[in-house]
Chain A
Amino acid sequence: MSVTSYSERPATGTDESDAISVPWSRPARKRRAVSSRVVSAVTILVVLAAWALSARLQLVSPVFLPSPAAVWTKFIVVINDGFVDATLLQHIIASLGRVFAALLAAIVIGVPVGLAIGISTVGRGIFDPLLEFLRPIPPLAYLPLVIIWFGIGEPSKILVIAIAMLAPVALSTASGVRGVSRERINAARSLGATRAQVVRHVILPSALPSILTGLRIALGAGWSTLVAAELVAATRGLGFMIQSAAQFLVTDVVVMGILVIATIAFVLEFIIRRIERQLVPWAGRE
């Protein structure tokens, strides 16, 4: 801005709207902005309406796209009577059990690996290339190898999910560890903390927000490999349910299963965010 424009400014400037008269500040709009939540809700309603309408008008065969009402009815039926020898709740419990077992394994392995990457150059040298190798491989690609090595039992299913979860957990932990403020560590050392005490009492808690973010991402990644993990020799689980339904062309169960998987993913995300706020209230407030 030139000096002239400064001298031309009105001398009063006590009025609220004149208080900030820099050229890039626009006056506040009187019209209230629509919140993005409202837009989201409308979007979902529009999609549902389009779905219901196309089913009602029989634009596509119910084999390809069952009506929302049919899916809802099926939902109730599967809750009460089950599908392929298990109720919906039993399928959900089987799937959740696998995903949480895998999450536990990913934490037990991933957090120490992430610590090693973040703390020592040797650890970084060892684990970084391994994780970078593992990370981009789709679960369906390593599934055959897991089955050849570990058979078709429950451990294989958990392992497939755990592999997908390992990289997010380890890499988030590592980035959290690397982000710990030097001053915080040095202050603890100057108080007489040993190396182990610094890791336990300074580095781990400091990295906790980042670790929790990693768990959230891992849970999403693991949940999305569910169908792949339950491809082989499962008798229960949401992924298994969808595949069985697909083989018999029971499309309403397929659609219902997809919606259940999506809903559970949403709920898990919500729960973890609540846990984050409870456990690390200082994140973003330092």
Chain B
Amino acid sequence: MPHLVLDPHLILDKVSVHYDGQAAPAVERVSIDVAKGDFVVLVGRSGCGKTSLLNVAAGLVEPVRGNARIGGTPITDPGPDRAVVFQNDALFPWLTARENVAFALRLRGVPQAERARRADELLALVKLGGAGDKRIWELSGGMRQRGGLARALAAEPEFLLLDEPLGALDALTRERMQTTLLDLWTAAQVGVLMVTHGIEEALVLATRIVVLAPGPGRVVRTFETGFSRRYASGEPIRGIKADPAFAAARGELTDAIFEGEAA
């Protein structure tokens, strides 16, 4: 099917993850389909296997059953078509912000002469334009995550895998970074698979929310949501959050996450 190659999907197909030495599987038979342009968010209580699923998609964890594919090709290793951004920035402290981004460009084979210019473009894209010469430890938490995003985008991925990228940030920075994420998602035309603990964050960002439950990790519900597309088409984020529909969706999502658990 040639259209799959032109518009590849990131597919987790009945994936089960079972770590060595653990009695129960971490994830059992979970299927997720991320198309380019999708923003799929995984939410759920601790131990529901969100990060395991993300790592399977990244090629960092091998499923015991089922498989992960991208454009029909099985995922066996990490690759620049699926750049990962972690909660704690994984930037290199011995390099400047620009050099960190240039490192990713170098791995992709961008000629040296172009790297600095291209890195500056990417830093400007994540609103870190003036900080190219700064060392990583001179940056705030939010700036580091922006740097991490710029470096991930430097790989020119088809999909971004985000493992609680805003989890370590304070509430105000987090709010600002959410719109940055949406801007990047729109600009870079990528598919996103993201793990978060934030219920509101999931609603703001997702086009689809997959609710997982623990013991073993499995899908309990899937929501199609439209708030992020409304932002992408120009509606201000505060207006969206003030919409009664947003509050209703929030209640429904919260119920789904804590379903079966004593309130």
Q: Given A181-B88, A190-B84, A192-B155, do A282 and B93 touch, yes or no (CB 8 Å)?
A: yes
Of the candidate stretches A201-209, A215-223, A245-253, A266-274, the one touching chain B is A201-209
Q: Given A205-B94, A281-B135, A286-B137, do A183 and B86 touch, yes or no (CB 8 Å)?
A: yes
User: Which chain A residues lie closer than 8 Å to B94 at the CB level?
Assistant: 205, 208, 280, 282
Residue of A nearest to B93 (CB): A282
Quick check: is B60 within 8 A (CB to CB) of the other chain?
Answer: yes
Please report whether the interface of chain A is mostly helix, strand, loop or mixed according to DSSP: helix
User: Which chain B residues lie closer than 8 Å to A184 at the CB level?
Assistant: 90, 92
Q: Which of B108, B136, B161 contacts A190 (CB 8 A)?
A: B161
User: Which chain B residues lie closer than 8 Å to A282 at the CB level?
Assistant: 93-94, 135-137
Q: Given A184-B90, A282-B93, do A189 and B137 touch, yes or no (CB 8 Å)?
A: no
> Count the B residues whose beta carbon is within 8 Å of the partner chain — how many?
32
Contact A190 B82 (CB under 8 A): yes
User: Which chain A residues lie closer than 8 Å to B151 at the CB level?
Assistant: 187, 191
Contact A191 B92 (CB under 8 A): no
User: Which chain A residues lie closer than 8 Å to B92 at the CB level?
Assistant: 184, 201-202, 205-206
User: Which chain A residues lie closer than 8 Å to B83 at the CB level?
Assistant: 190-191
Mark each residue of chain A from 176 to 213: 1 if its CB lies under 8 Å from any CB of chain B, else 0.
00000101101111111100010001100110100000
Chain A interface residue bracket vs B:
20 to 34
Mark each residue of chain B from 81 to 124: 1 if its CB lies under 8 Å from any CB of chain A, else 0.
01111111011111000000001100110000000000000000
Q: CB within 8 Å of A: which of B43-88? A: 58-60, 77-80, 82-88
Nearest Cβ distance between residue A195 and chain B, in whole angstroms?
10
Q: Which of B86, B103, B107, B135 contacts A186 (CB 8 A)?
A: B86
Contact A286 B82 (CB under 8 A): no
Q: Which of B79, B88, B103, B152 contacts A183 (CB 8 A)?
A: B88
Q: Which of A197, A201, A285 contacts B137 (CB 8 A)?
A: A285
Contact B80 A192 (CB under 8 A): yes
- How long is the Cα–Cα vector from A97 to B187 in the complex, in angstroms? 60
Nearest Cβ distance between residue B30 and chain A, in whole angstroms?
21
- How long is the Cα–Cα vector from A3 to B77 in the complex, in angstroms? 56
Contact B107 A193 (CB under 8 A): yes
Q: Given A190-B79, A191-B80, do A183 and B90 touch, yes or no (CB 8 Å)?
A: yes
Q: Given A190-B83, A191-B151, do A286 and B93 touch, yes or no (CB 8 Å)?
A: yes
Residue of B nearest to A208 (CB): B94
Residue of B nearest to A193 (CB): B107
Contact B90 A192 (CB under 8 A): no
Q: Given A181-B88, A191-B152, A282-B136, do A186 and B93 touch, yes or no (CB 8 Å)?
A: no
- How long is the Cα–Cα vector from A132 to B43 in the complex, in angstroms? 47
User: Which chain B residues lie closer than 8 Å to A187 at the CB level?
Assistant: 84-86, 90-91, 148, 151
- How long is the Cα–Cα vector from A192 to B104 in the complex, in angstroms? 8
- B interface vs A, CB < 8 Å? 58-60, 77-80, 82-88, 90-94, 103-104, 107-108, 135-137, 148, 151-152, 154-155, 161
- Chosen A-B contacts, 22 in total, with CB atoms closer than 8 Å, are A181-B88, A183-B88, A186-B58, A186-B84, A186-B86, A187-B91, A190-B60, A190-B78, A190-B155, A191-B80, A191-B83, A191-B107, A191-B108, A192-B104, A192-B155, A201-B103, A202-B92, A281-B135, A282-B93, A282-B94, A282-B137, A286-B93
The 9 A-B residue pairs with the shortest CB-CB distance, nearest first, are A187-B90, A282-B93, A192-B80, A190-B84, A189-B78, A183-B86, A190-B78, A183-B90, A285-B137
Known: A192-B104, A282-B94, A286-B93. 20 other contacts (CB 8 A): A183-B86, A183-B90, A186-B84, A186-B86, A187-B85, A187-B86, A190-B58, A190-B83, A191-B80, A191-B152, A192-B80, A192-B108, A193-B107, A201-B92, A202-B92, A206-B92, A280-B94, A281-B137, A286-B136, A286-B137
